[in-house]
Each structure stands twice: as C-alpha cells, then as structure tokens.
Structure 1
Amino acid sequence: MKTGGTAILRRTLVRNRRRLGIGTVLVCLHQVAETLVPISIGVIVDRAVATGDVFALAVWLCALALLFLVLTAAWRYGARFIVVAMQNEAHQLRMEVAHRILDPRGVRTDLRAGELLSVSTSDADRAAWIADITPRAAAALTAAIGSAIALLLIDVPLGLAVLIGTPVILGLLQLAAPLITRRATDQQAAVARASAMATDLVSGLRPLRGIGAEVSASRRYRAASRDALGATLHTAKSSAVFAGVSMTVSALLAVGVAGFAGWFALEGRITIGELITVVGLSQFFIEPLGVLAGLPGFLALARASADRLALVLDAEPLLPAGAGRTLDGSELSLTGVSYRSLNGLDLRVTPGELLGVVAYRPQDAEALAALLSGQVPPDRYDGELTVGGVRLSDADLSHARRTLLVEPHNGDLFSGTVASNVTAGRPGATASEVHAALSASAAVDVVDAHPEGLDHEVADRGSSLSGGQRQRVALARALVAQSPVMVLHDPTTAVDAVTEHTIAGGIADLRHRTAALNPTSPTVVNRQTTILITSSPALLSVTDRVVVLDDGTVAGEGTHSQLATENANYRQAVLR
C-alpha cells in the first residue's frame, strides 16, 4: 500500500493519539496558566496594591502561587507524554524501515546502503518530530487566543491587533515553507550520498590500499562531503533567515501592542494594572508567536524526511510472491537464459553432480552467480531457471533459499563469534557437523589459532580476521547449511595454493564422495549438487564436469583434464 510522506505523518499522529492527546491538553493548560500570570499580576495591582488591601493581596498571592504550581505540573507531565510518543514513533519508524529493507523479497530502490542507513536513522527521527510539532502548535495557538481574548476585554483595538496580526504574519511566513522543504530534501539526499560513499570506502578499505587508490577515493569522498556541507549550509541559511524574520516580526507586533497600551494608559483609557497586564502579555506573547512562526520550518524538515521514508516504505518488492511451490530435488536447469552479459545460456546440472564453471569473461561469472542467487526478479531476465523442475520464481521463497544457496566470493561475516557465524544459516547444526565443515573449508586453523576456539570474537564484517580467514569461515558457514544445491563463486581467491588444494578435496569429500557428516556410515554417497564458478585448477580438478562460458553462452564442456589437454584457451585461462 502506498503511503507517501504526508500519510506517514498523519499515521504518526493517529497511532500516538492517546499520548499526544493527553500531552496536548496538558501543554495547552500550561499555556493558559502562563497567560493568566500577567493578568493576575495586573489584578493584584488594581485590587490590592492600589487599594492597600492586605487581605486581598495575600489571597491573590496564594492564587498566583497555585497558578505557578499548575503551570509547572502541566508542563512537566505534558512534555513527558509528548517526548515518549515522539521517541516511540521514531523507534517504530526505524523498525518499519529495517523490516522493509530486510524483507526476504528485497526492495526496489536505487538507494545505496549508506543512504538506507541515513533514512532508517536521521530521517526516522526527523519524521517523528510531527509528534512534537502538533502539540507545540496547539499550545502556541492556545496562548495566542488566550492573550487576544484578555486584550479584547481590556481594550478592543489591542485585542483586534493580535487577532488580525497573528494570522497575517503566519500566512506570509508560510509562503517560505515550500522553499525550505525543497532545500531540506536536497540536504538530506546529499548527506545520505556522502554516508553511502563513506560506508563503501570503509568496507573496501583493504582493497583500496592494495591497489593504491586511497588518494582517488579520498578525493571522491571529499567532493561528496563538500556537496553535503554546501547543501547543509544552504538549508541552515534559509532556516536562519526564516527564524530571524519570524522572530523580528513577532517582536515588532508585541512592541506595538505594548506601546499603544502605554499611550492608552496616559489617556486614562486603561488602568495601571491593565497596563501591567498588557505589557506582560506582550512580552509573553512573543514566545508563542515565535513558535507558530518557526513551526513551518520544522514541519518542512519533518515532511522532507517523511518523503524519504516513503521511498523505502512505498517501494515494491524486488521479487514476486511466488506460487508457494516447494522445490523437490537437486537438479538445476537454465534454458535460453539472457541476463546482463549472458546470452541464451542453456545449462543443466544433474542431481549429485559436482560441476565446474569457467567463464572467460568475469562479467559472465558475476551474472550467473547473481542469477542463481535468486535475487534477480523474473522480469529482469529472459528464459527459464528451474530447480527440481520448478521455476525458481514460482517457489516458496524461504524454501528456495534453503534449497539453493549461493555463496559469493566476498561474503560478509557478522559481529559475534566464529561459532555464531558458522551456524548462522543452520543454528541447530551439531558439533560434528560444524567440525566437518570447518575441516572441509580449512578453517580449523582459524579456530585453533585462538584460545577461545569457536567462541573467538569476530568484529563486524569480519574485520578482525584476515581476508583468507574470512573467506574460509564464510565457506564453512555455507557447508554447514547442507543445501541440496550450492553455488560457490571463487571461494578460494584469498588463500594460498596448499590451502586451496585442501579446500577442493574437502568440498568434494563433504558433499559428494562420502557422508562426512555421518561418520558412522562412511560409504553412503551424498546426492547434493555443487557448482563451482572458478578458474582455480585445484577446484576444477575435483569436479565431475566443467562447462566453459564465453560471450555469455556455453563454449565447451568436458572434464578438467580433457579441456586442459585439448583446449588452448582453457589452458590459458586456468592453468597457472
């Protein structure tokens, strides 16, 4: 269901209506009490001080003290209700965005990771400002109306000046709100782009250092940061000018009312107590009028953030819901598939086969891995992709993910322990299954290298481990999952040749040759299907068959030894 920025703000008010209702009533009561303070002082001057009535002075002073008690309590508890509502709404918006981003079906959006992070944090907080803006507006209007009524009772022209001047000022200032909204939207988009670039740079810091691209990357980030700074200063300038003008106009109105009251007092039209009341109300009136004048700016910021939230919350799912069919079997088939650089690809992998795929062009390997990952919607490729005879797009999504697992060559690790990372895809794995996967992926030494063993702490994205260690732990995680069909894309690019041979034999033994996960029955053959997209001769040497891709289609197939002997292009691409 489409929401839009305005709908998000409206929904915020509706689902927090209880807290906001109580909070609004209390802060409005606070403003009424604030309005009564200068009125009470004027009454005390006229009825007690001017007459010399001590008893009346004592009574009115007690009433004034009670008034201060009411306004203090009303503000304290009213503000508490409003702040709780605002913080709860900000949290709920963050959870909604996170849930939408983490939807297994994905989300169709052009926003990058850093931009999504900005939307789910700062934009969620700003959109929740509407829970504070609305009560403030109600309280300020209450104070303005109360002051105008009091002034009308004292002198009609003074009251009319406030009643007429206030909406005129607010109407004129409201003309600047669309400009502030546009500039706030541009600013938040620029900051989000800078955040996205910073996220990319931090995650790719090691490769950047490896190729010596730090200076170029720093230059790009500096440019993006300057753009964000410029947009922020541009917005700040507009907001500051708006606030300055609104406060100045409000102050001029208040000063004008007080000046006319002094003139009326000299002419005898109002008493000294009434003059004190008018002057007090004029001074008090500056604050609520300033709040009313400044609220359009804050509302513009909240609206801009709500519009950015809507970009995520309104985004269509990347993948279709599917027909809910289950995938039975481990046969994989691609028929006439065209996607990115792939051009009418036909490929069939039989159940239990250990298949190697060598792509002469890296983009063909990337396209095949992306397509098999199940993250590509069916409207973005031509042809048919089936697992066990069922179209992947028709399958139940959770079942498809369990059946077909694609481990990219740059798989991420999560903060936690080695054990929590290895068992992330299958928390119920036994100790023997975990050990078998660690052995097959040559990740045992990662565990043995630390006194904590499997409980060794892993930093976010596995930054506390070397590139080879991260790759082996990610591979162990994939092996523990025991998916009927598993695709590994260059799983050994960060390890040495000896370790690569160990991993090749481990994968073949674990998934194809013997039931390594069941030591009591070593003769049982696993019928899991494995596809190795790689140019590693060590990995290709353990495969049953190798398919060669060139120009997006199958250019040859055979065993590794046959192709190495008969195909010069294959030898050039693989043997090293």
Structure 2
Amino acid sequence: MGLTSDRAGGAAVLRRMLARNRGRLALGAALLMVHQMAETAVPIAIGWIIGQAVSTGDTAAMIWSVVGLGALFVLLTSAWRTGARVLTVAQQREAHRLRVEVAGRILHPRGVRTELRSGELLTVSTSDADRAVWVLEVLPWAVAALTAAVASAVTLLVIDVTLGLAVLIGTPVILGLMQLAAPLITRRATDQQAASARATGMATDLVSGLRPLRGLGAEAVAAERYRAASTEALGARLRAARTTGVYIGTSVTVSALLAVGVAGFAGLFALQGRIGVGELITVVGLSQFIIEPLGVLARLPGVLADSRASADRLALVLDAEPLVPSGDGAAPASADLELADVNYRSLSGLSLRARPGELVAVLARRPQDGEALAQLLSGHVPPADYDGALRIDGTDLVELDLGHARRVLLVEPHHTDLFAGTLHSNVVAGRPDADADAVQRALVASASTDVVDAHPHGLDLVVTDRGASLSGGQRQRVALARALVAGAPLLVLHDPTTAVDAVTEQAIAEGISRLRHREAEPLLHTTVLITSSPALLSAADRVLVVSDGRVVVEGTHAGLLETDPDYRKAVLR
C-alpha cells in the first residue's frame, strides 16, 4: 500500500466512508423511512378507526381495522429490524476497514511522520475508528426522522392548516437553533478525545516500561504523571458531557413544548368543532410521536461532532507523510555496507565499511552512539535528518527500491518484541517459507534449542503478547533466531546477548560466526555486531571502536586487547 494520498482531514475521511457504503446507507435509510412512515401512520390509523369504526359501531369495519393495524405494526417492525441490521453491518465493516488502514499506515516500511505516541496510535486505531463510523448510523436515522416530521406536518396540514404550519415552521427553527451549538460540541468532543488518547498512551507506555521504572525507583513519579493526565482527561470528558447534556436537554424540552402546544391547540379546536374526535386522536398521537424524530434530529449535531472529532484523529495517521522516501534502484548485487562522514544525533563524521563476507563488530564507548548507529542503519531515519552517505553496494540507501533494501538489510534492535502465537510462528515471522532445517540451524546458532526442549510442546509452545510468557534471555534468543532465519545478506545486531549468561553468550558468538560466515557461501553474508560483549568481539574479523561519534581505532579483538588500554578496560568485565 502506498503512502501518497489526496486525503485532506477528517471531513475527507467521513466523505470516503459515506461513498464506500452508499449502497447500504441508501437501503438502510429507505427501510428506516418506511419504518418512520409506518410509525406516523399508526396515530392516523387509530384516529380513523375511532372516527369510522368505533363511533359508528360497524363490526366488520372494526375487524378489518384491527387486521390493518396489525399489518402496519408488522411492517414497521420488519423495516426497523432489517434497516438497523443493514446499517450495523455497514458500521462494523467500515470500522474494520479503518482499523486495517490505520494499522497499514503505522506498519508501512516507509513509516509515518506523526507526533502521536504508541498508546495514542492504539486509541486511534480502535476507539476512534469505532466512533468515526457513527456517522453511518446517524445520517440514515436523521433522514428517516426528517421524513417522519414532514409526514406528520403534512397530515396536520390536512387536518388543520394552523396545526400543520406550527410543525412545518417550528421544526426548521428548532433545528436551526440546535446547529448554532454544533461548533462548541465539536471542539469539546475533540478536546475530550485528545485528552483521553494522551492518558491511554501514557498508560500503555508506563505498563510496557514497568520493569525499568521499578529499577529506577521512579514508580511514584510515573504514577503522578499519569494521575495528572487522567485528571485532564476527566475534566475534558466532564466539560464535553455538560455541553452535550445542556444541548440535548434544551433541544428535547423545546421539541416537547412544540408537541404539547400542538396537542393543546388541537383540543381547543375540537371543543370549537373545527376538528372531529378521530382527528383529535390523530393530532394528539402525532404530537406525542413527533417528539421521537425531533429527538433524533436534536442528537444529530452531538453525534456528528463525536464522529468528526474521531475522523480528524484518524486523518492524523492516514494523512501523515512517509518518513523515508522509496527509490527505484535495483537490488544490490552484494552486501557491501559503507557509511561516509555521517552526522546523526551523537554520531559526528562517522565513516566505516563492512565488506561482503565480513563479520564486523562495532564497540561504542557511549551507548548513545550505538543506538544512533542502529537507528540509522534501520532505514527509518529520513534523509533530511542526517548528513553524509549510507550506501549498500555503492548505491545510496534512499535511492534503492524499498522492497529491495528491506530484503538485503535487516537490523535487529536491542529492544525486541515477540508476537502472540507460538515459538515457531515467531521464529519464522521474517521468512514464513523457511524449512525445518533452516529453523533448526538458527535455533542452534542462537542457543535457543534449550528453550524449545524445555517444554513438551517444543516449537508449538504458546507465546503470549510481547513474549511475556518467556524470560528476558529466552525472548532475546528467540528474537535472534528469528533474525538468523530471515537470512538477510546484510544483518545488523545491536547488543543481542545482554540478557544471557557468559557461557550462552560464547555459544551464540560461535553460532553466528558459523551459520553466517562458515556454513554459508563465501561473500554471501555481511554481519555487523554493535556490542561490547568480549565473546562477540572475539568472533569478529574486525573491531571498530567508536568514540565521540566517530571511529577512533580499528583492529582485531586480540590485537586491541594487547595494544589499547582503553579498549581493554571497556571490554574486560
């Protein structure tokens, strides 16, 4: 799915939803109009029955009237049930479609430029998607309610011109006054949803970072920050509720006063002989019934405001510009990595080269240098955010076709997540077609075989979301196995062994070297290890030491241990 779009804000999102569901909306609206017309016909039928059958004592007319009234109720019930079902299907399918669109934007390889945090993105893709589709229900109901109001007014005009004009004039006046409050309701709804999303985002981030918070002893500070965000969200919610409550209360009261006024004048006209008893029953019934469609119309601006506010938040993601461009360069012929005079974050004039077939280790004396290098190599950094050149096989990374670049270069970050599923589904996530032999070799190289062998279900062991059912070391090794199974020609691993013991670390160092550089074809793979692990450094062909954002020394692990006291101090722990 591409990221170029002609979308323009929440209004465009709503228009697109209406266009995509126009068939179901038309059918649902038609059925609801039938329902409302049948509802309007009920007091008319009752008035006619009283005037023509009850008052005359005609038994046959009475029987046929009851049968006709029953048929009318069957019609209105069937039309309502079918229409509501059609609109519900439209809502649920559109909400699903929006969730998929938002997820596609968030997960797209080119990324999206947005200031929303992960928790806020979660809120946008769930609750905002569900709220935005309210428009698919409220508009057909509004059309049906307006039809009922017009039908009631026409009926009253036939009975008495004064009563009909009261409804025909009063209804537009009420609707016009209600629309004056729509902008305020929209602002309050937008503020409330934004505040709720911030609180949800903070809660998500706090839960995912609970262990580091406990390690730092910062639980109280984090709780206070969340309390402040939650209080802000509560205040926004209460302000929105007060505004909506006053609006609905006022509109319903005014509508009820109109209905009571019509009924009162109808009673007066009946006493004056202007209308008959059956007509009086019809007018009273219609005056009571009309409160319902007027109430639906009264709630319309509030629901539209909520829907528009959520659509605006959806547009923040759907309209977001891509983070990185996609070139059209051909697939690189070799896994030759070169960085030339790169300035990015803490990196300052960094230059390095990893040639095809090499296993190169990078020791960053400052952790932020290692983080910056891994982030830059991941391909998620916009070209405008760094200076210098990042090339694969002599071609700048931004000039390569994105699909080719992703197949050639894989960066496994230090903080990795597993997915809900099984061990097997996690290990082959990057290469679903991997055969059993490739999976087994990766498990051995990552020292993950004991994770599999420790459970009766083996590779079918169920893994919970984020790998919470596994220990930190197990998660790290399974993630490493996943990266090895992918078999990318150019693999970058950032601190892949920080959660394992020294013996396991040595086995992993040997396994990576064997799998990618001794068992593989010559010059097929290039591996870059960003690490301070002596075991991994000793397995590398070359070690590059980065200090103050640039390479300051280069050599073998054994050679640097002998000649560089600072290196020896950094790695011997």
**Pairwise same-fold verdict (TM > 0.5):** yes
Other-structure match for 1:404 = 409
Alignment of 1:526-537 (within 5 A): 527-537=524-534
Task: Name the CA shift for 1:11/1:365 in 2 (closer, same or farther; >3 Å).
Answer: same
Q: Summarize the Cα distance change of 1:429–1:49 in structure 2 as closer, same or farther, 3 Å threshold.
A: closer
**Is residue 31 of structure 1 aligned with residue 36 of structure 2?**
yes
Mapping of residues 64-143 of structure 1, within 5 Å: 64-143=69-148
C-alpha displacement of 1:495: 1.0
1:233 aligns with 2:238: yes
**Aligned with residue 6 of structure 2, among 2, 7, 27:** 2
Q: Could you tell me how far apart the structure 2 residues matched to 1:133 and 1:501 are?
A: 64
Partner of 1:162 in structure 2?
167
Which residue number in structure 2 is paired with residue 423 of structure 1?
Answer: 428
Give the equivalent residue in structure 2 for 1:298.
303
- Report 1:340-355 matches (<5 A): 340-355=345-360
Q: 1:178-197 to 2 correspondence within 5 Å? A: 178-197=183-202
CA distance in 1, matches of 2:28, 2:489: 57
- For residues 421-460 of structure 1, the aligned pairs below 5 Å read 421-460=426-465
Q: Deviations over 1:476-495 (max 9, x none)?
A: 11112222111111111111
What is aligned with 1:571? 568
User: Superposed, which structure 2 residues align to 1:149-548 within 5 Å?
Assistant: 149-512=154-517, 514-515=518-519, 525=522, 527-548=524-545
Q: Specify the code of the residue in structure 2 equivalent to 1:9.
A: L
Aligned-residue offset at 1:125? 1.1
* Alpha carbons 2:40, 2:289 under 8 Å: kept: yes
Shift of 1:32: 1.0
Q: How many residues align?
A: 568
d(CA) in 1 for partners of 2:94, 2:71: 35
C-alpha separation between the residues in 2 aligned to 1:324 and 1:246?
A: 62
- Residue among 61, 64, 83 paired with 1:59: 64
Cα deviations by residue, 1:112-138 (Å, 9 ceiling, x for unpaired): 221111111111111111111111011
Whether the 8 Å contact between 1:511 and 1:526 is mirrored in structure 2 is no
For residues 323 and 132 of structure 2, the distance between their equivalents in structure 1, rounded to whole angstroms, comes to: 26
Per-residue CA distance 1:87-132 (angstroms, 9 max, x = gap): 2111111121122222121111111221111111111111111111
Contact 1:108 1:316 (C-alpha < 8 Å) held by counterparts: yes
1:520 counterpart residue number: none
Distance 2:347 2:102 in 1: 34
Could you tell me how far apart the structure 2 residues matched to 1:59 and 1:501 are? 93
Q: Is the 8 A contact 2:365 2:570 kept in 1?
A: yes
Q: Distance in 2 between matches of 1:116 and 1:377?
A: 20
CA spacing shift, 1:384–1:37, aligned 2, 3 Å: same
Q: Shift of the alpha carbon at 1:215?
A: 2.7
Q: Which residue of 2 aligns with 1:43?
A: 48
The alpha-carbon deviation at position 61 of structure 1 amounts to 2.6
TM-score by length of 2: 0.96
Q: The residue matched to 2:545 in structure 1 has which SS? A: strand
Asked whether the 8 Å contact 1:369–1:487 carries over to 2, the reply is: yes
Q: 1:259-282 CA distances to partner (integer Å, 9 max, x unpaired)?
A: 111111122211121111111110
Query: Structure 1: how far apart are the matches of 2:123 and 2:80?
Result: 33
1:129 touches 1:302 (CA, 8 Å); kept in 2?
Answer: yes
Opposite residue 500 of structure 2, the aligned amino acid is: V
Residues 334 and 385 of structure 1 are in contact (CA less than 8 Å); yes or no, is this contact kept in structure 2?
yes
Give the TM-score taking structure 1 as reference length. 0.95
Q: Secondary structure at the match of 2:543?
A: strand
Does 2:563 correspond to 1:558?
Answer: no
- 2:207 is matched by which residue type in structure 1? V
Between stretches 423-432 and 496-505, larger displacement belongs to: 423-432
Q: Determine the C-alpha separation between the residues in 2 that align with 1:400 and 1:286.
A: 63
What CA distance in whole angstroms lies between the structure 2 residues aligned with 1:312 and 1:453? 40
In angstroms, what is the RMSD of aligned CA positions?
1.6
Aligned partner of residue 290 in structure 2, secondary structure = helix
The aligned amino acid for 2:552 is A
Note the C-alpha offset of 1:369.
0.3
Name the SS for the 1:259 alignment partner. helix
Deviation (angstroms), 1:205: 2.4
**Structure 1 residue ranges without an equivalent (≥5):** 518-523
Q: CA deviation at 1:57?
A: 2.6
Deviation at 1:222, TM superposition (A): 2.3
Separation (CA, whole Å) in 1 of partners of 2:407 and 2:327: 15
Aligned-pair CA distance for 1:53: 2.8
Q: Deviations over 1:311-361 (max 9, x none)?
A: 111111222121142111011101121111112211111221111111121
Question: Of 143, 151, 166, which aligns to 1:146?
Answer: 151
CA contact (8 A) 1:19 1:82 kept: yes
State how far apart, in whole Å, the 2-side matches of 1:266 and 1:54 are. Answer: 28
Per the TM alignment, residue 525 of structure 1 is displaced from its structure 2 partner at its CA by 4.7
1:51-96 Cα distance to aligned partner (Å, 9 max, x none): 3333333333332222222212211212221211122111111121
Identity over aligned residues, as a percent? 67
The aligned amino acid for 2:464 is A
**What CA distance in whole angstroms lies between the structure 1 residues aligned with 2:329 and 2:256?**
66
